[in-house]
Amino acid sequence: MSATLRGLHQSALEVIQRPASEDSVTDSFGQFIQGVQPHHLTPTLLHRSKRMVLDSIGVGLLGSTTHVFQLALQHCQHMYAPDDVSSVYGRRGTRLSPTLAAFVNGVATHSMDFDDTWHPATHPSGAVLPALLAVSDMLPNNRKPSGRDFLLAFNVGIEVQGRLMRFSNEAQNIPKRFHPPTVVGTLGSAAACARLLSLERSQCSHALAIAASLSGAPMANAATQSKPLHIGNAARLGLEAALLSSIGLEASPRVLDDTSGVAGFSAFYEDYAPQPLTSPEEAGLRFLLEDQDMGFKRFPAHLGMHWVADAAASVHKLLLGELGSQGMGRGSQVVGQVQDILLRVPHSKYINRPFPESEHQARHSFQFNACSALLDGEVTVLSFSQEALQRPDLLALLGRVRVEHPHDNPANFDNMYGEVQVTLVGGDVLKGRCDTFYGHWRNPLTNESLKKKFCSNAGAVLPREKVEGLIEAVEGLDSLEDCSPLLAQLQ
């Protein structure tokens, strides 16, 4: 027998022949998804995940006003008929099949780059929440999940993403190849949906494996209008994977394991070292969200922008002090006074754009965000409108920006800083530095700030009663016997 020639196929053969390996990483994930219990949700987890749910709904509702959302919705409505099942954010009376609703709501969530960001970097909630809402709509009226079950499924989806990102060093760096939400997000959605659908342990594993064949989109598209579809598809396809698994489709039982010669989930990373999850039956199960909180954005732009915006805002205050006036003509006064602007930021091609030409580019430009904050004292949703992009004051300032990449400023959301140094015409130099922007996990938004962001976002498309109704439903989610009050107010 050719022992030397075994390996790939032989290992696949061995896996199939022996009963589902109790010690495989893949199996441990299946066990976790199926076996985790409501009592595992600590007060910290409940608090943090409810904030994520609220923020995610809010940015999704605001995102339903974007062009790309409209396009995605139109596509679904053309290619498919109305299906009175799952609600579409912010569109009264519009419902779609569950996977399609997950898709468009996911697109909405990521459409403005306003959704939550974690460390290692991904946007976890947008891949999970739309899918869970869609599934909840799908379940019969007398079998809706309780708020606690819903939250548990949500946390499963987040936890799976976090764990997967810790399987490689590559995931901790700036992504170069695959856009993280499309790698871990799809499996997160599959895990969450498998949980909410009460799949069996092996079905939970197969849902992850099926999802792996639906994962991975190149970074190049993350700089385009297609990016929000990455989250939309993660939500949709994860749900699809769970549904396919529920009717018996099977895939690789070792998809998360590192089997030599056969790339499973490891296909997406250059270095891959998976670890099994602690069994829910053992003590010591600890969710990552307990130790690593979420970052929430204050304005719709790449997370890195928040550092320079805060730094530039502090320089703006100093500048106003110098200029000794407020109100009319402020912009041109600023422009008149500023000779040179130096930004000290981490090196990252993706967010270094001296003259952004589109909304998307502006959301990914250190220079643009710094100058906007310098002019206005803050960056908001309105800072990225077409008019704002083209205002002469801003363009004038952009022309005076230089960028430096200090060695001590790594491109890493945990360690980076942003420094803005403005040299005035008279020779004075004003400096601002931000190590931790307000909204970062080390300096979290207060509940009040988070609610304010939500009201502003949701209020763009929903009437006041529903905005307040949603806040109430999410705040009390873990006590709701039935999550219908949440579902009923999304449009």
Partner 1 sequence: MDVTSLGFYSENSYYGYKGSMLSPLIKFLCLFQSVTESFGAAISSLNAVHLTDTVIHRSKRMMLDTLGVGLLGTSTAVFSKALQYSQFFKSVERSSVWGRSGMTLPPQYAAFVNGIAVHSMDFDDTWHPATHPSGAVLPAILALAETLPTQTSGLDLLLAFNAGIEVQGQLMRFSKEAHNIPRRFHPPAVVGVMGSAAASAKLLALSPAQCVHSLAIAASSAGAPMANAATQTKPLHTGNAARRGLEAAKLALLGLEGSQAILDLESGFGVFYSDYSPSELPGTNGGCGGGFRWVLEEQDVAIKRFPAHLGMHWVVDAALEARAKLGASGEPDLCKVQKVVLRVPPSRYIDCPFPAMEHQARHSFQFNACSALLDNQVSVNSFSGPQIDRPALRELLAKVRVENPQDNHPSFDKMYCEVTVEMEHGESVTARCDTFYGHWRKPLSQEDLVGKFEANASTVLSQEAVESVVDIIGNIEKCPDCTVLRSYLQMSRPTTHLFREHLG
* Residue 206 CB, nearest approach to partner 1 (Å): 8
349 binds partner 1 (CB under 8 A): yes
Q: Which residues pair with 338 in a beta bridge?
A: 424
344 binds partner 1 (CB under 8 A): no
Asked if 78 and 91 touch (Cβ cutoff 8 Å), the reply is no
* Residue 483 CB, nearest approach to partner 1 (Å): 22
Q: Rule CB under 8 A: which of 372-401 touch partner 1?
A: 399
For partner 1, the closer CB: 187 or 338: 187
Q: Rule CB under 8 A: which of 356-375 touch partner 1?
A: 357-358, 360-361
Asked if 444 and 296 touch (Cβ cutoff 8 Å), the reply is yes
* Residue 95 CB, nearest approach to partner 1 (Å): 11
Asked if 288 and 164 touch (Cβ cutoff 8 Å), the reply is no
For partner 1, the closer CB: 22 or 84: 84
The span of 86-94, 221-229, 290-298, 336-344 binding partner 1 (CB under 8 A) equals 221-229
Cα–Cα distance, 82 to 94 (Å, whole number): 8
Q: Rule CB under 8 A: which of 227-286 touch partner 1?
A: 229-230, 233, 240, 243-244, 247-252, 254-255, 259, 261-268
Q: Which two tokens stand for residue 331?
A: 């912009």
347 binds partner 1 (CB under 8 A): no
Cα–Cα distance, 20 to 244 (Å, whole number): 19
Asked if 223 and 269 touch (Cβ cutoff 8 Å), the reply is no
Q: Rule CB under 8 A: which of 154-213 touch partner 1?
A: 176-178, 182, 209-210, 212-213
* Residue 465 CB, nearest approach to partner 1 (Å): 32
* Residue 229 CB, nearest approach to partner 1 (Å): 7
The span of 128-136, 286-294, 352-360, 430-438 binding partner 1 (CB under 8 A) equals 352-360
Q: Are strands 401-404 and 338-344 parallel, antiparallel or unpaired?
A: parallel
Cis peptide before 38 (omega within 30 of 0): no
R_g of the chain computed on alpha carbons: 23
Distance of CA 312 to the CA centre of its chain: 25
Q: Which two tokens stand for residue 139?
A: 């379940």
Q: Rule CB under 8 A: which of 69-98 touch partner 1?
A: 71-72, 74-75, 78-83, 97
Total residues interacting with partner 1, rule: CB under 8 A:
79
Q: Which amino acid is at 376?
A: D
Q: Rule CB under 8 A: which of 413-472 touch partner 1?
A: none
* Residue 239 CB, nearest approach to partner 1 (Å): 11
Q: Which amino acid is at 68?
A: V
Asked if 160 and 36 touch (Cβ cutoff 8 Å), the reply is no
One of 187, 217, 374, 422 touching partner 1 (CB under 8 A):
217
Q: CB neighbours of 257 closer than 8 A, spacing ≥ 6?
A: 24, 25, 26, 264, 274
225 binds partner 1 (CB under 8 A): yes
Asked if 270 and 129 touch (Cβ cutoff 8 Å), the reply is no
335 binds partner 1 (CB under 8 A): no
Q: Rule CB under 8 A: which of 52-71 touch partner 1?
A: 68, 71
